């Protein structure tokens, strides 16, 4: 790898315009990650009459598809960068295709029956997932190429998470509000799907413009390794990246466990609102309690990371989230508005859980480039996105399995049922104890992450 590009990439301060354009992409990532995780399982079980276990399998199948294609898209994105000098083509394609497929996911009426409805939702969601991956994998690769500065990456990803948490509020609160604005559930879900898909797509297209800035900075003397062309070699390239980079293994393992923990809470939120707080609309207040504090906390986590290091700040956020999640088990005996306070504490921690590992990933990529001579940011982010997808998918699966095991009764739109006490207990446990245990496990894997500020910045200074 040429060393002439390193000092420029390390010293540059990103312009406010570049930071803003990149951050706006989180309208897309936040909307896609939040709304299907929040309402899709519920849409299947309580609107189309699909059994809870089958609903969980549908969501999981779409996520498994993500896992299969993300490494391929990552390698293809690296090839596109080597061939054209930019990753923008895939990002634009994803941004243009996603709105239509997202709307179709929620356009299935109950009159089609649970079997036909489930199949149609699965196909539409598979197409949505493909479009999103075309954007997301190269999008996550860009920070490593926009700047080599340890602190600038924290700044860039910090602002991205500010927009991400705002997007969670927008889609988590606004999506169900749009759903309830229709004259009936069928119209409401369709309205939600169309409006949300358009906003997600616009955010993705705006963020794709930062690929040009990354291409300009990467053009000065950077050599990109020849990327394997066969699908088998592309998969093996990802596994080789995992094998040679110990920091990547530690960070990815931590991130997957935490995605599973937060995915479990996200999938359970609507059920907690409906059956524990006894109001379907209460999910809006749950998201306000989560995202409001997170918006304020993100700059604080950035400051803590500058002072203590990203890895220590990340561990602190993980511990705080664990405590907040565990406290929610008290809802088994005393459900009530106090739940919002625990969710708010989790929201403060969630801001750190989002911004800090994303700021650490470019450091891992830089470390690999320096030690192995390979320029494969897309390969790394393909594996990373697949891991994140696994976590969120298994989170929804864990909730659906818990509901099935505890006797949850599925319904179609307009029907009213009473849930057994065991099902209510399962909902609370999947929203509290399970994510807390997963977060504790993630702290164990985080102990294996050994990169520090000096590992990133000192070699760049010597190169200069």
Residues of the chain with confidence (pLDDT) below 70:
1-12, 182, 212-239, 280-281, 373-376, 393, 411-416, 457-464
Whether 101 contacts 122, CB under 8 Å: no
Among 107, 106, 108, 118, CA closest to 51: 118
Structure-token match 């989002």, residue found? 354
What is the chain's percent helix, strand, coil content, to nearest 5?
A: 80, 0, 15
Domains of the chain: 5-463 (1.20.1250.20)
- CA dihedral 122→127→130→132, nearest 10 degrees, is -100
The predicted structure's pLDDT at residue 458:
59
Among 254, 227, 229, 247, CA closest to 377: 227
DSSP string, 244-270: H-HHHHHHHHHHHHHHHHHHHHHHHHH
Residue 462: exposed, middle, or buried by beta-carbon count in 10 A (0-12, 13-18, 19+)?
Answer: exposed
Task: Show Cβ contacts of residue 432 under 8 Å, excluding neighbours closer than 6 positions.
Answer: 325, 326, 327, 328, 329, 331
Among 125, 141, 126, CA closest to 90: 141
Structure-token match 């995202």, residue found? 291
The predicted structure's pLDDT at residue 289:
82
How many angstroms separate the Cα of 295 from the Cα of each of 157, 166, 207, 270, 299? 13, 7, 20, 22, 8
The predicted structure's pLDDT at residue 95:
93
């Amino acid at each position: 790898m040429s060393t002439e590009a390193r000092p420029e990439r390390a010293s540059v301060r990103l312009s406010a315009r570049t930071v803003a354009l990149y951050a706006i992409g989180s309208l897309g990532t936040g909307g896609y990650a939040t709304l299907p995780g929040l309402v899709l399982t519920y849409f299947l079980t309580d609107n189309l009459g699909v059994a809870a276990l089958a609903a969980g399998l549908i969501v999981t199948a779409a996520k498994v598809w993500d896992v299969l294609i993300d490494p391929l898209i990552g390698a293809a994105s690296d090839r596109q960068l080597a061939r054209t000098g930019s990753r923008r083509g895939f990002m634009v394609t994803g941004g243009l295709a996603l709105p239509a497929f997202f709307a179709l996911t929620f356009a299935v009426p109950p009159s089609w029956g649970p079997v036909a409805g489930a199949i149609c939702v699965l196909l539409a969601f598979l197409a949505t997932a493909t479009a999103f991956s075309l954007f997301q994998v190269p999008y996550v690769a860009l920070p490593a190429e926009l700047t080599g500065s340890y602190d600038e990456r924290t700044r860039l990803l910090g602002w991205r998470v500010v927009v991400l948490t705002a997007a969670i509020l927008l889609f988590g609160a606004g999506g169900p509000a749009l759903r309830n604005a229709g004259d009936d559930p069928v119209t409401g879900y369709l309205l939600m799907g169309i409006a949300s898909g358009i906003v997600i797509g616009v955010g993705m297209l705006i963020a794709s413009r930062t690929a040009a800035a990354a291409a300009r900075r990467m053009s000065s003397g950077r050599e990109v390794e020849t990327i394997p062309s066969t699908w088998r070699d592309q998969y093996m390239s990802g596994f080789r990246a995992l094998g040679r980079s110990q920091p990547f293994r530690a960070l990815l393992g931590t991130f997957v466990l935490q995605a599973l923990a937060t995915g479990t809470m996200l999938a359970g939120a609507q059920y907690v609102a409906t059956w524990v707080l006894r109001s379907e609309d209460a999910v809006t207040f749950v998201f306000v309690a989560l995202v409001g504090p997170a918006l304020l906390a993100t700059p604080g986590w950035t400051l803590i990371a500058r002072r203590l290091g990203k890895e220590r700040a990340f561990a602190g956020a993980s511990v705080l989230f664990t405590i907040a999640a565990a406290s929610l088990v008290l809802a088994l005996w005393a459900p009530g508005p106090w739940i919002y306070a625990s969710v708010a504490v989790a929201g403060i921690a969630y801001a750190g859980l989002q911004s800090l590992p994303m700021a650490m990933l470019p450091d891992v990529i830089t470390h690999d480039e320096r030690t192995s001579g390979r320029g494969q940011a897309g390969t790394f982010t393909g594996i990373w996105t697949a891991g994140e997808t696994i976590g969120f998918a298994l989170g929804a699966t864990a909730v659906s399995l818990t509901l099935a095991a505890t006797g949850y009764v599925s319904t179609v739109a307009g029907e009213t049922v009473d849930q057994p006490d065991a099902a209510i207990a399962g909902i609370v446990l999947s929203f509290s104890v399970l994510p807390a245990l997963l977060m504790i496990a993630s702290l164990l894997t985080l102990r294996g992450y050994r990169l520090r500020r000096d590992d990133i910045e000192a070699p760049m200074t010597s190169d200069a």
